A and B are shown apart, each in its own frame.
Chain A
Amino acid sequence: MSKKDHINESILNDEIREHMKENRIDHMKYLPGMEVIDSAVMDQVLSAMEAYDYEKYTEQDVLRAIAADNRTPEDFAALLSPAALPHLEEMAQAAQRETRKHFGNSIYMFTPLYIANYCENYCIYCGFNCHNRIRRARLNAEEIEREMEAIAESGLQEILILTGESRAKSDVKYIGEACKIARKYFKMIGLEVYPMNSDEYHYLHECGADYVTVFQETYNADKYETLHLAGHKRIFPYRINAQERALMGGMRGVAFAALLGLDDFRKDAFATGMHAYLLQRKYPHAEISFSCPRLRPIINNDRINPMDVHEAQLLQVVTAYRLFMPFAGITISTRECARVRDNMVNIAATKISAGVSTGIGSHVEEMEDKGDEQFEISDARTVDEVYKDLAKIGLQPVMSDYIYV
């Protein structure tokens, strides 16, 4: 398959094909109210990705990159190339050494809490998309508190608050209130919500949040346009600059991800790494982390799969991130099964979720399970089970490595 024609057929159905024929707004033009920042990072990332020709790298390039002391973007490019795949074992061993050097055997544990699943976007691969007929819900303050209380009882001290991307249904103030409640129960609060302006990030930081995750999904703007048919999320540059706005707003750390399987995964992984690399150079204090999600089946489309991103390719991406930025956090989500996750944390990942539900109102038993989930999870282990499984392979689960100041 040529790089240009890459399309993941498993996402498409007749309804989506019909919608794709409709006229759509310009995905490169900011909408009113969206903050425009003076930054060259997006252009730098996109031109680096454009220039990345992974077929040109040889075994020698790969071996040199593995052996290097400080790895350059060129080394990173080689590690993501097809030539590196036969050297996955060496990459994994080098990645493990780097991980231990920087993190010892500590593995951080957390859980995501979905507080709302309303969404105004039409992302054709996502279970929350506004055309998908699912049960929608939004927790009120009292329900959020009950969910958080239940999660805190499991021993976790870090939480990631998520919403669907709807400013109308989950406005900034609502998210801020959730952060304030979370401050009572957790030492570390991350956010995975719609991109916003730097002053809004500043407000949420004041409310207690300190980490912002934004999945770019794909860095290929043309492909992005065909996958995000409507809504604020359609505006590609506003999304790609979200991490920088978060840092400008005072957030301590930012996380990056491409959803592997949407487009050419090598190019997307390369762009993700370059995005993080360039922002860290511009904001040296920023704590950087990566997520490595692969496409998963959703309600009303159980055929969705990550195509050519098999477990080996996923491991290649994860180890390449580690070798390129040895100090960065890497999170491995419940999109992967227990076997893959436990091996990933043993090699390169540093953070793992547990007791996960991607639905709304699922942590308190007596609370009615109110909203449907974003995607199917593959690892349903409880906090206690993950804790014990980590200890079994000689890793030390860490609940807290953070202090809000």
Chain B
Amino acid sequence: MTDMNKDTFCLGGHEFQSRFILGSGKYSLELIKAAVENAGAQIITLALRRANQGGLANILDYIPKDVTLLPNTSGARNAEEAVRIARLAREICQSDFIKIEVIHDSKYLLPDNYETVKATEILAKEGFVVMPYMYPDLNAARDLANAGAACVMPLGSPIGSNKGICTKDFIQILIDEIDLPIIVDAGIGRPSQACEAMEMGAAAVMANTAIATAGDIPAMAGAFRKAIEAGRTAYLSGMGRVIEKGSSASSPLTGFLEEQE
């Protein structure tokens, strides 16, 4: 049996046991700590644009110090802006981790893969641990891997939509073909969907809105943790066959081989 304690994954030389990456926006600052604890999360994302320079409601004051801070470049509309935000993030957060988000679509908030690859290339060379958010396209994922990304973060469905893994088949291709951790990001609306991503072989799951809009935020964070662990265990256990339609006849086509005279 697999020893779950030794089941870790690696990002830029850093090892993580928790496979749940938590978002920090969209909910009350006071609840961040409880959410992190119940989620068992070791990585928490932070939009750099939300980080105040002191003053009221500074989100940086509410994030527990013992978790890895993953600043993101939200607000960037092209590679150049993402690079500038990443450099600022490194100064402010004292961290080499950066989640690239390049978005110039205000309606669906879909990422621009082309600009994301460009930013990844520059930032990986500067020593960042680059975690790019992307639309699940195999060619773009290969480009990201070649550009030095530490992982690939394909979206399940549009940010905040809670629609689950609409891009399932394409994420599966990335999981099968890309030799980097695949972290499913965006669109995961319920624990069962997070579980599904893990069963598919995703290295980790990232969620924000699903937790932030729950009635009891810490409890929902805990529910996600369990679902992610269950999915991971199922994946490692080797999933059984699932029969799509009805039961199968024993050998409808090859049965004749038994009928030799």
> Any chain A CB within 8 A of the CB of B56?
yes
Q: Could you tell me which residues of chain A, from 103 to 119, have a CB within 8 Å of some CB in chain B?
A: 103-106
Q: Which residue of A lies closest to B23 (CB)?
A: A104
Is the contact region of chain A dominated by helix, strand, or loop, or is it mixed?
loop
The interface residues of chain A lying within 8 Å CB-to-CB of B47 are 401
With A387-B56, A400-B51, A403-B88 as known contacts, state yes or no: A286 contacts B106, CB within 8 Å.
yes
Would you call A396 and B106 a contact (CB within 8 A)?
Answer: no
> Any chain B CB within 8 A of the CB of A6?
no
Would you call B27 and A285 a contact (CB within 8 A)?
Answer: no
Would you call A103 and B26 a contact (CB within 8 A)?
Answer: yes
Pair count A-B, CB < 8 A: 87
Q: Which residue of A lies closest to B211 (CB)?
A: A104
> Any chain A CB within 8 A of the CB of B171?
no
Q: Could you tell me which residues of chain A, from 137 to 155, have a CB within 8 Å of some CB in chain B?
A: 155
The interface residues of chain B lying within 8 Å CB-to-CB of A403 are 48-49, 75, 85, 88
Complex formed: what's the CA distance from A264 to B9 in Å? 61
Q: What band does the interface of chain A fall in when counting residues whose beta carbon is under 8 Å from B?
A: 20 to 34
Is the contact region of chain B dominated by helix, strand, or loop, or is it mixed?
loop
Complex formed: what's the CA distance from A396 to B28 in Å? 5
Complex formed: what's the CA distance from A285 to B51 in Å? 23
State the Cβ distance, B103 to closest chain A Cβ, in Å: 8
Complex formed: what's the CA distance from A383 to B57 in Å? 12
> Any chain A CB within 8 A of the CB of B230?
no
Other-chain residue from A106, A383, A394, A400 in contact with B52 (beta carbon distance below 8 A): A400
Would you call A399 and B55 a contact (CB within 8 A)?
Answer: yes
State the Cβ distance, A2 to closest chain B Cβ, in Å: 37
Other-chain residue from A285, A327, A400 in contact with B49 (beta carbon distance below 8 A): A400
Would you call A396 and B57 a contact (CB within 8 A)?
Answer: yes
Other-chain residue from A284, A327, A405 in contact with B85 (beta carbon distance below 8 A): A405
> Any chain A CB within 8 A of the CB of B213?
yes
| 30 A-B residue pairings within 8 Å (CB atoms) | A100-B213, A101-B161, A102-B160, A104-B26, A104-B209, A157-B53, A157-B55, A187-B49, A280-B107, A284-B106, A285-B77, A286-B106, A287-B106, A327-B106, A327-B107, A387-B57, A396-B27, A396-B29, A397-B56, A398-B57, A399-B55, A401-B47, A401-B49, A402-B49, A403-B48, A403-B49, A403-B85, A405-B75, A405-B76, A405-B85
